[in-house]
């Protein structure tokens, strides 16, 4: 590929295709909107990257050329994404081999082999490296070439632990017959399989045509099978939407974002429509819009009274409209924090109405005054507005629809002062435009004055927003009352204003209290976001997870803190053997730095279940470390528990550094020998890295 630019390039002019997350045709980025005219729309395109790297905005010399670029890049990305595990690993190893071959003669001398080993994250002592080299250098030429490199690769990637498991079940002429494979599936993997299932697996995964013809599974075929997504740790049935989506909206945990417009921190970070696109593509279903008066009567979005940049309200609504339902069909809630004058509120209402059209819910579903929320299923493809409303929804069904002329309401989000007294002073009256008020149907913002008051005076659609500190106190001191409140109403939690770096709180105690809209800073890379991603990993990544039955019952006695007896108590014992790791990434860029990986397993859930255990590090090997260590956990409320596998690079002098992690719901674990995929800090898949484990869940005695 070729491009020209007036800029003097840095020395590195390339980037790997697998760093690209998407390619978009047209003036879709804020940079292109600001710096180009409408008539060049068809010539512009943007390349977006995984992680925090800025977009690359480009303009081709013709519309046809721009289309060719976009088509070609999309084809490359798609080919890479469709490689199977084996191909991904080989692709990665060959690219390292290419880099190691310094003089590009398609041969590796001993020093090039050493640098290759460092690239793939292994530090071997010189004697052992020399012995390995000599073993592979069959031609005694002092170089490895062709088949010698292949032999070297096979020695490196040979997995003893797979030999052992395979050897135990390969009872037919040194291969696995369908009957042998069925034994493995039923005994080890605890799967309800049939002989026909075993035959299908051999047909699909056996690479050797001779073995396949005889219905036999070789060791390579067995490894291919273990690497396929269906056989990995996450139950494949849970990858699709498998929960009942016909329950009222407030019976679900809803993936929710705070300050969605920010790319970084909330003092001086850039605001960008791209931040909404990223959150929506990650399955987020509740986004926040901080609206302020802008110039030319156009409302803007930014973090008020700070140096964060401003974006047009209408551009945000356009971006939301385009990307809302790409990752999930289920409804998106637009949480408005409204600081605009009545005039610009009318403009907001016009933009939402004209851009979102009939996807915007502006009247209750069905006939007459509703008594409960519609379900996610009924609201598919719809937008709900959360904000202030002048009157009760009931009033629009009576003759009193003349409506109170009073347009004063208090501003919804309290100020960022931690002090309650200060907060009271900072509430100011805000006038509300009728057009905007009328768009608020199922999510009317009100202040919270205690559970008793809410039960007596609040309608089901009236919801409070709680700052994290207040919410945490309620979740600890009145957990059962909070759960009962959330059986009837929605609750939204947002981070304290003191988190100027946009850090996050732990969402788990708030889910345990039945809170649905636990809003996190999606733009921040952290453990809390990993846990959020793990919670919403299942049910088709739809952004909606059905709460357990005992959290949807108004008479429930469930309390996550005291844990009295009840249907929620299903004491299980989780046995995990951490066997080995594969192709762990380097933490530092330096070629000579090799990771010393250690594994931690963390349980998140009710306080009685929270636990963390770690196993000792393996020194100087991130390529194929082996541990073979056992861990055991008691889990009392499995329906609310999450399991997180974390790999760190051990450092005796300072903090361990993050290598990769994977989090999933406890009830979505598959038993037996399983590969665990690993995600990087940004929550993106590390293409060839993984953990190999054995999982067993048994009922406690």
| Active site residues per annotation | 258, 303
594 is in an annotated binding site: yes
3-state helix, strand, coil in the chain (%, to 5): 35, 25, 40
Tokens of 333: 């809630």
**Which residues in 341-388 belong to E strands, given as ranges?**
383-387
- At 602 the three-state DSSP class reads strand
Question: What tokens does 421 get?
Answer: 């007294």
Name 433's Cβ contacts closer than 8 Å, sequence gap at least 6: 342, 343, 345, 346, 348, 349, 407
Burial class (CB in 10 A: 0-12, 13-18, 19+), 507: buried
- Is there a binding annotation on residue 244? no
**CA-to-CA dists, residue 668 to 194, 242, 371, 601, angstroms:** 22, 12, 34, 16
C-alpha span between 280 and 490 (Å, rounded): 21
Q: Are 217 and 174 in contact (CB under 8 A)?
A: no
651 is annotated as contributing to ligand binding: yes
Task: Decide: 348 and 291 in contact? Cβ < 8 Å.
Answer: yes
Please check if 596 is assigned to a binding site.
Answer: yes
259 assigned ligand-binding residue: yes
Half-sphere exposure of 401 (CA within 13 A, CB side): 5
Is position 18 annotated in a ligand binding site?
no
For residue 63, CA distances in Å to 23, 24, 70, 384 come to: 15, 13, 11, 37
H/E element, 480:
helix 479-488
- DSSP designation for 143: S
Beta bridge partners of 176: 217
Tokens representing 652 are 């005796």
| Residue 494, token pair as written in the block | 């947002």
3-state secondary structure of 301: strand
Q: Mind giving me the DSSP string for 59-105?
A: E-SSHHHHHHHHHHHHHHHHHHHT--HHHHHHHHHHHHHHHH-TT-S
Residue 600: other Cβ atoms inside 10 A = 17
Pairing between β-strand 311-312 and β-strand 332-338 as defined by DSSP bridges: unpaired
| Residue 288 in marked binding region | yes
**DSSP string covering 453-476, please?**
HHHHH--TTEEEEEEHHHHHHHHH
Is 10 marked as a binding-site residue?
A: no
d(CA 31, CA 59): 12
Give alpha helix (H) positions in 110-146.
110-119, 126-136
- Known binding residue 290? Answer is yes
| Alpha-carbon gap, residue 342 to 339, rounded angstroms | 9
Query: Is the dihedral angle over the CA atoms 106, 77, 52, 602 positive or is it negative?
Result: negative
Looking up tokens 């929550």, which residue turns up? 683
Nearest by Cα to 125 from 591, 580, 650, 620: 620
- Residue 684 assigned to a binding site: no
Q: Is 144 helix (H, G, I), strand (E, B) or coil?
A: strand
Residue 631, both tokens:
């861990």
Strands 332-338 and 383-387: parallel
CA-to-CA dists, residue 443 to 482, 633, 687, angstroms: 18, 40, 41
Check the annotation: does 668 bind a ligand: no
Q: For residue 574, what are the β-bridge partners? A: 633, 697
Q: Identify the burial level of 105 via C-beta atoms within 10 angstroms of its C-beta, where 0-12 means exposed, 13-18 middle and 19 or more buried.
A: exposed
Q: Which residues define the annotated binding site?
A: 259, 288, 290, 337, 386, 388, 465, 492, 594, 596, 620, 649, 651
User: Binding site for substrate, residues?
Assistant: 386, 388, 465, 492
């Amino acid at each position: 590929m070729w491009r020209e630019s007036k800029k003097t390039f840095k020395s590195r002019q390339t980037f790997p295709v697998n760093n690209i997350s998407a390619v978009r045709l047209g003036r879709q980025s804020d940079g292109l909107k600001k710096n180009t005219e409408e008539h060049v729309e068809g010539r512009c395109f943007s390349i977006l990257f995984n992680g925090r790297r800025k977009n690359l905005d480009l303009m081709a010399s013709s519309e046809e050329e721009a289309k060719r670029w976009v088509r070609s890049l999309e084809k490359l990305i798609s080919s890479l994404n469709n490689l199977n595990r084996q191909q991904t690993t080989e692709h990665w190893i060959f690219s390292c081999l290419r880099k190691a071959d310094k003089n590009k003669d398609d041969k590796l001398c001993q020093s090039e082999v050493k640098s290759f080993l460092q690239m793939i994250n292994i530090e071997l002592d010189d004697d052992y490296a020399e012995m390995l080299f000599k073993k592979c250098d069959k031609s005694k030429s002092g170089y490895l070439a062709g088949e010698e490199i292949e032999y070297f690769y096979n020695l490196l990637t040979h997995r003893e632990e797979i030999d052992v498991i395979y050897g135990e079940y390969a009872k037919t002429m040194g291969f696995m017959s369908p009957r042998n494979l069925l034994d493995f599936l039923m005994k080890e993997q605890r799967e309800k399989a049939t002989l026909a299932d075993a035959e299908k697996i051999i047909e699909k995964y056996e690479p050797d045509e001779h073995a396949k013809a005889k219905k036999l599974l070789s060791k390579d075929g067995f490894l291919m099978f273990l690497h396929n997504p269906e056989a990995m740790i996450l139950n494949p049935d849970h990858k699709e939407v498998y929960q009942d989506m016909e329950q009222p909206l407030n019976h679900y945990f809803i993936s929710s974002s705070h300050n969605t417009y920010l790319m970084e921190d909330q003092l001086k970070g850039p605001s960008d429509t791209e931040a909404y696109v990223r959150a929506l593509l990650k399955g987020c279903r509740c986004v926040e819009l901080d609206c302020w008066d802008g110039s030319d009567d156009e409302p803007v979005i930014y973090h008020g009274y700070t140096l964060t940049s401003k974006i047009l309200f209408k551009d945000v609504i356009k971006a939301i409209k385009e990307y809302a339902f790409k990752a999930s069909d289920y409804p998106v809630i637009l949480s408005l924090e409204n600081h605009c004058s009545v005039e610009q509120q009318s403009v907001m209402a016009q933009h939402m109405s004209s851009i979102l059209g009939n996807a915007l819910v502006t009247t209750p579903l069905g006939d007459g005054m509703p008594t409960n929320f519609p379900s996610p299923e009924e609201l598919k493809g719809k937008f709900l507005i959360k904000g202030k409303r002048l009157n009760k929804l009931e009033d629009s069904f009576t003759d009193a629809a003349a409506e109170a002329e009073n347009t004063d309401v208090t501003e919804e989000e309290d100020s960022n002062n931690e002090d309650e007294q200060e907060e009271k002073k900072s509430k100011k009256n805000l006038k509300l435009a009728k057009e905007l008020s009328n768009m608020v149907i199922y999510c009317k913002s009100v202040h919270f004055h205690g559970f008793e008051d809410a039960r007596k005076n609040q309608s089901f659609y009236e919801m409070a927003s709680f700052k994290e500190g207040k919410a945490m106190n309620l979740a600890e001191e009145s957990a059962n009352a909070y759960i009962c409140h959330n059986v009837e109403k929605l609750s939204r939690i947002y981070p304290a204003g003191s988190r100027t770096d946009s850090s996050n709180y732990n969402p788990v105690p708030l889910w345990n209290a039945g809170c649905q809209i636990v809003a996190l800073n999606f733009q921040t890379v952290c453990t809390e976001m990993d846990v959020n991603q793990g919670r919403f990993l299942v049910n088709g990544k739809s952004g909606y997870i059905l709460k357990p039955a005992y959290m949807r019952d108004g008479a429930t006695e469930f309390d996550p803190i005291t844990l009295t007896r009840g249907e929620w108590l299903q004491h299980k014992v989780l046995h995990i053997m951490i066997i080995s790791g594969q192709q762990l990434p380097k933490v530092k860029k330096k070629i000579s730095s090799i990771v010393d990986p250690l594994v931690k397993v963390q349980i998140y859930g009710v306080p009685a279940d929270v636990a963390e255990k770690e196993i000792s590090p393996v020194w100087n090997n991130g390529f194929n470390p082996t541990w073979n260590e056992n861990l055991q956990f008691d889990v009392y409320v499995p329906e609310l528990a999450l399991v997180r596998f974390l790999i760190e690079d051990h450092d005796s002098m300072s903090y361990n550094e993050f290598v990769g992690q994977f989090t999933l719901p406890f009830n979505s674990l598959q038993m037996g020998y399983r590969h665990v995929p690993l995600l990087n800090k940004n929550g993106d898949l590390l293409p060839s890295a993984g953990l190999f484990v054995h999982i067993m869940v048994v009922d406690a005695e």
